[in-house]
């Protein structure tokens, strides 16, 4: 992912807490979603940086002084100028670019639906068995 093209700010900004309430109806759940996405972005950025910097590493064990590589410094500066992962995650959440689901909520809704069906069966008349096929 190209993080340089994101609209996320590079410095900290103030956000209205009610904006985090829009997708989940729960501010705390939204913060958890944002923090998990920020961790994912952080890992992606770190892996990308590590791959680029490994190109410059030498595998020889010598005691010579390590010299500064201009390209390596530029790569490091590029990643330092990028928006922080938390700011990118907040921007993605505000733009509805994060897919999330809560299995606990889905299980609770399935349980409510099952209870509703059970209540209908109990209140209803004698049910006829469904015949799928004949012998």
Whether 65 is covered by a domain: the verdict is: yes
Whether 110 is covered by a domain: the verdict is: no
Closest Cα to residue 15, out of 2, 1, 34? Answer: 34
pLDDT in tens, 6-37: 778 777 778 888 888 887 888 888 999 999 99
Whether 38 is covered by a domain: the verdict is: yes
46 pLDDT higher than 90: yes
Q: What is the pLDDT of residue 128?
A: 47
Closest Cα to residue 88, out of 23, 43, 16, 38? Answer: 38
* Mean pLDDT to the nearest integer, 83-89: 91
* Mean pLDDT to the nearest integer, 106-116: 75
Domain span holding position 84: 3-101
108 pLDDT higher than 70: yes
Quote the number of domains for the chain. 1
Whether 119 is covered by a domain: the verdict is: no
Answer for the pair 34, 86: CB distance below 8 angstroms, yes or no: yes
Model's pTM, two decimal places?
0.69
Whether 129 is covered by a domain: the verdict is: no
């Amino acid at each position: 992912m190209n993080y340089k093209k994101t609209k996320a700010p590079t410095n900290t900004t103030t956000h209205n807490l009610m904006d985090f309430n829009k997708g989940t109806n729960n501010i705390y759940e939204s913060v958890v979603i944002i923090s998990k996405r920020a961790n994912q972005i952080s890992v992606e950025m770190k892996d990308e940086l590590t791959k680029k910097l490994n190109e410059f590493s030498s595998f020889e064990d010598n005691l010579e002084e390590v010299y500064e590589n201009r390209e390596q410094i530029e790569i490091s500066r590029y990643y330092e100028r990028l928006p922080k992962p938390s700011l990118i995650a907040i921007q993605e959440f505000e733009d509805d670019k994060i897919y999330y689901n809560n299995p606990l909520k889905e299980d609770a809704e399935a349980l409510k639906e099952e209870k509703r069906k059970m209540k209908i069966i109990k209140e209803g008349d004698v049910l006829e068995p469904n015949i799928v096929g004949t012998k």
